[in-house]
Structure 1
Amino acid sequence: MSKTTATPAAPDQSAKEEKQAFSSKDFHRTYARPTFVKPSHLIHKNVERAGEHDQFSTERKHPVFFVDLPSRNVSMTIGGLLPGQQTNRHRHTYETVLYVIEGKGWTEIEDERVEWEAGDAVYIPSWAWHRHQNLSDALPAKYIACENAPQLQNLGVALREEEGRDL
């Protein structure tokens, strides 16, 4: 077995510079070969035990648990719908892929209703109005949501709009 080691950062890169945003004056800092920079952590244990994200959960009207990993391009959350629960209509400039891990329900995307159950994956295109509904009055529904929100946030072009709040 070979051992993987971290490649040192380019000579003029420092930990401080890595956290700064790039501007046009930093063009020379685009290197021909990428370098490995060890992230702060590689695992988030017991995601749901860390607690739900209160502000986001209240706004969306369903429990949401953020997976805290240092990705700059994709995010992952665990979303839940309580029995009979329906979310607010909303839209955002980032794409979403949902993977349903338990329950049955539907997602309305613009004017199309897509029914789902455990084991299904649902694609929500960027800037499409959508909302989710748990069809069970007794059992919760749960899904994993993966989005390219961090990538667009880092580019300064991520937008999110909640019906009733932003209109």
Structure 2
Amino acid sequence: MAKLETVKPGTEIVTAIHEEQKQFSSKDFHQTFARPQFVRPSHLVHKNVEQAGVHNQFSAERKHPVFFVNLPSKNVSMTIGGLLPGQLTNRHRHTYETVLYVISGKGWTEIENERIEWEAGDAVYIPSWAWHRHQNVSDTEPAKYIACENAPQLQNLGVALREEEGRDL
């Protein structure tokens, strides 16, 4: 059942009316049929990500600039990260997977003591729970990348962990 609402003349939004969800237990597994449903989030685009500003607490904690792409995904996240000239991040690991797409610069990522060199146009995969860190090899130019992670999915399941070497051990 759907209800039609008029927001302003000429525009309409369809609002779905949901039946109350039954709570299932393990004995009801055979009754938990998939019922996919489109739910339109509040926004589908996040404009001018970098102009919205560095997320100071997160950037300070990671010791390099980070910009969130604030989309309503419950499964994947995207950030724009940067490494200042010559910058080396702390070794860390997390339970979520990461794919870095390098937008600009040159550097390396150390994954479990194996150094992977990268430059603009490369994609780097970081497996879950692998110790890693990143280094910008230029002393004059910053490096920039897009990081995509399945962190929200694991956070929603209550199993997302992040550990910084020397701080969390």
TM-score of the two chains, using structure 1 as the length reference: 0.85
Q: Verify the 8 A CA contact 1:9 1:35 in the aligned structure 2.
A: no
- Relative to structure 1, the CA distance from residue 24 to residue 156 in structure 2 (aligned partners, 3 Å threshold; closer, same or farther) is farther
Partner Cα distance (2:39, 2:126) in 1? 32
- Greater percentage in strand: 2
Report deviation, 1:12: 2.2
Q: Does 2:128 align with 1:143? A: no
Paired residue total: 155
Q: Does 1:163 align with 2:165?
A: yes
Cα shift readout 1:99-139 (whole Å, capped 9, x = no counterpart): 00000000000110000000000000000000000000000
Provide the residue aligned with 1:83 in structure 2.
Answer: 85
Q: Which runs of 4+ in 1 moved over 3 A?
A: 22-25, 27-32
TM alignment of 1:12-91, pairs within 5 A: 12=20, 30-91=32-93
Q: CA deviation at 1:32?
A: 3.2
Following the alignment from structure 2 to structure 1, what is the Cα–Cα distance between the partners of residues 102 and 147?
A: 9
Give RMSD over aligned pairs: 2.4
**Map of 1:100 onto structure 2:** 102
Give the aligned partner of residue 18 of structure 1: none
Matched to 1:164, the amino acid is G
SS at match of 1:65: strand
**Residue 55 of structure 1: how far off its partner (Å):** 1.5
- Would the alpha carbon gap of residues 89 and 24 (structure 1) be closer, same or farther in structure 2, given more than 3 Å must change? farther
Q: Give a deviation string over 1:61-85, Cα, whole Å, max 9, x none.
A: 1000011000000000000000000
| Identity over aligned pairs, percent | 80
- Contact 1:6/1:38 (<8 A) preserved: no
- Which one of 120, 123, 131 corresponds to residue 121 of structure 1? 123
Q: Which runs of 5+ in 2 are unaligned?
A: 1-12
1:107·1:131 contact (CA, 8 Å) conserved in 2?
Answer: yes
Question: 2:88 is matched by which residue type in structure 1?
Answer: Q
